[in-house]
């Protein structure tokens, strides 16, 4: 048994167990300590990545380690740690501190971490479920609020549909190939294609691509805001690192391009148009996530190292920008009476110039304005698509980006150029939140100016 390959996951699991045990003995007033410990668990996992020798296989070949998926895990751990650091103050303000807070995100991250490395449908299924169950719970963890419970319920139902599709897809896959391992199968019988359709659909559901996106706006809106930050960043990174690896096995399937292209074009245009109708900024960003799922899927439309590099760069930086913006919204939400309605953002710049500027920075990053790093990602996707002669998709990306500019701008206009009507008590930023916000914004700008620091690490 190659233990070395699963060190980071082992560390995570031990951390979770430690938290379980501590949970038994600690009193409620010490829950803050629990939260702090939990935030350091992914940091230790991150360090343990240095000790993994790759490429390697473990668990009878179910689990594979390569430089690429180690990088993905590193991003996951950093993001999770940031979420855990920044969310305590929010829950205290909401008067909803539970011990589950400390380990549920870790459980999900453990699932996603295994997901990235899975080389087999069993591993994929189990890890995705582990991650999902954690997330269903996290979404509904504001027990006092109706919206949170509704969001969790809806997410659970839709997620179960995804699970069923995944299970059925795996069954068909096994029926047509006689194995559950991913391999390059070239005999394309209709059962195999059907299984691919189901598997991709299940993953598209998790990635919130249209037409499997229905849960996204509700779950994002109802979830506690730091958890929305988690949902919009950590699972996305894991999924695309996985999808890039799956692409390596299944790219020769003729239907692949068509399927991915349809999903991505639908997501880009549908979400960008519907976003205009939103009044809640949180919901608006949920639609922005769906639109981004569309951009990201373009990155796996065909095999091209530049394209996949750009995708992984893009999705990693998007995760930071997204986490940053939701953390910021959590900070704002701690003020009583704040509801994320567009009107509540009016005149934010006059009250909190620094927070408003940071939010504007993230929004400009989503539009894809240089020097923010997301621009480099978009540019890479452009070049990759043109390079592989997928001109219509490149054109769709351009058009969708232009359409998207308007609704992001509306939030910026609200914050900077309009006068506030409602007054809220001043926002207080906790240490963890400040750290998360600063780190996310610095990364988004710094990697925009020196993208090669990350770009060159993404190796194929």
Residues in contact with another protein by CB under 8 A are 306, 364, 367, 369-371, 375-376, 379-380, 382-383, 386-387, 394-395, 398, 401-402, 405-406, 409, 413, 416-418, 450-452, 455-456
Nearer to another protein, 170 or 404 (CB): 404
Asked if 48 contacts 8 with a C-beta cutoff of 8 angstroms, the reply is yes
From the CB of 52, what's the least distance to another protein, in Å? 24
Rounded Cα–Cα distance for residues 64 and 76 (Å): 17
Name the residue nearer to another protein (CB basis): 188 or 420.
420
62 exposure class (CB count in 10 Å sphere: 0-12, 13-18, 19+): buried
**Please, which residue, 147 or 449, has the CB nearer to another protein?**
449
Buried b (16+ CB within 10 A) or exposed e, 33-46: ebbebbbebbbebb
Nearest in space to 237 (alpha carbons), one of 74, 50, 438: 74
Of residues 8 and 294, the one with the C-beta less far from another protein: 294
- Centre a 10 Å sphere on the Cβ of residue 186 and count the other Cβ atoms it contains: 8
In the complex, the smallest distance separating the C-beta of residue 460 from another protein, rounded to whole angstroms, is 12
Q: Which is nearer to another protein, 174 or 455 (CB)?
A: 455
- Rounded (5°) CA angle 256-296-166: 55
DSSP one-letter code for 58: E
Least distance in angstroms from the C-beta of 375 to another protein: 8
Give whichever of 40 and 450 is closer to another protein, judged by the CB atom. Answer: 450
Shortest reach from residue 370's CB to another protein, in Å: 5
Identify the residue whose tokens are 């940031």: 82
Concatenate the DSSP letters of all residues of 333-384 into one string. HTSTT---BGGGGTTHHHH-HHHHHHHHHHHHHHHT-TTSHHHHHHHHHHHH
CB of 309 to another protein, least distance (A): 8
Least separation in angstroms between residue 385's CB and another protein is 9
């Amino acid at each position: 048994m190659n233990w070395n390959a699963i060190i980071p996951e082992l560390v995570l699991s031990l951390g979770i167990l430690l938290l379980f045990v501590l949970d038994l003995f600690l009193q409620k007033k010490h829950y803050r300590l629990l939260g702090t410990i939990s935030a350091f668990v992914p940091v230790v996992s991150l360090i343990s990545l240095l000790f993994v020798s790759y490429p390697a296989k473990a668990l009878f070949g179910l689990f594979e380690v390569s430089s690429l998926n180690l990088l993905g895990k590193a991003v996951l751990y950093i993001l999770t740690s940031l979420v855990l650091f920044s969310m305590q103050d929010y829950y205290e303000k909401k008067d909803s501190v539970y011990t589950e807070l400390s380990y549920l995100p870790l459980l999900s991250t453990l699932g996603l971490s295994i997901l990235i490395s899975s080389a087999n449908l069993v591993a994929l299924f189990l890890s995705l479920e582990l991650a999902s169950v954690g997330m269903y719970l996290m979404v509904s963890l504001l027990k006092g609020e109706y919206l949170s419970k509704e969001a969790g319920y809806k997410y659970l139902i839709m997620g179960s549909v995804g699970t069923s599709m995944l299970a059925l897809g795996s069954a068909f896959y096994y029926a047509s190939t006689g194995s559950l391992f991913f391999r390059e199968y070239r005999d394309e019988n209709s059962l195999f294609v059907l299984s691919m359709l189901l598997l991709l659909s299940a993953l598209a559901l998790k990635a919130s691509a249209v037409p499997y996106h229905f849960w996204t706006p509700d779950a994002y809106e109802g979830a506690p805001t730091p958890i929305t930050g988690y949902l919009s960043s950590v699972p996305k990174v894991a999924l695309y690192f996985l999808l890039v690896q799956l692409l390596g096995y299944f790219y020769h399937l003729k239907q692949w391009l068509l399927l991915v292209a349809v999903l991505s074009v639908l997501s880009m245009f549908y979400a960008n148009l519907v976003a205009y109708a939103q009044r809640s900024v949180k919901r608006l960003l949920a639609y922005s996530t769906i639109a981004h799922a569309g951009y990201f899927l373009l990155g796996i439309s065909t095999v091209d190292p530049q394209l996949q590099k750009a995708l992984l760069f893009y999705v990693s930086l998007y995760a930071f920008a997204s986490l940053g913006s939701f953390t910021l919204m959590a900070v704002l939400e701690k003020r009583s009476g704040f509801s994320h309605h567009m009107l509540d953002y009016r005149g934010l710049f006059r009250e909190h110039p620094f927070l408003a500027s940071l939010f504007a920075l993230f929004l400009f990053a989503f539009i894809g304005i240089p020097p923010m790093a997301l621009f480099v990602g978009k540019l890479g996707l452009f070049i990759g698509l043109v390079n592989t002669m997928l001109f219509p998709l490149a054109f769709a990306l351009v058009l969708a980006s232009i359409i998207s500019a308007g609704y992001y701008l509306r939030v910026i206009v609200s914050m900077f150029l309009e006068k506030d009507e409602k007054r809220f008590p001043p926002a207080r930023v906790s240490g963890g939140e400040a750290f998360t916000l600063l780190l996310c914004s610095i990364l988004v700008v710094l990697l925009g100016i020196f993208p090669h620091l990350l770009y060159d690490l993404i190796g194929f």
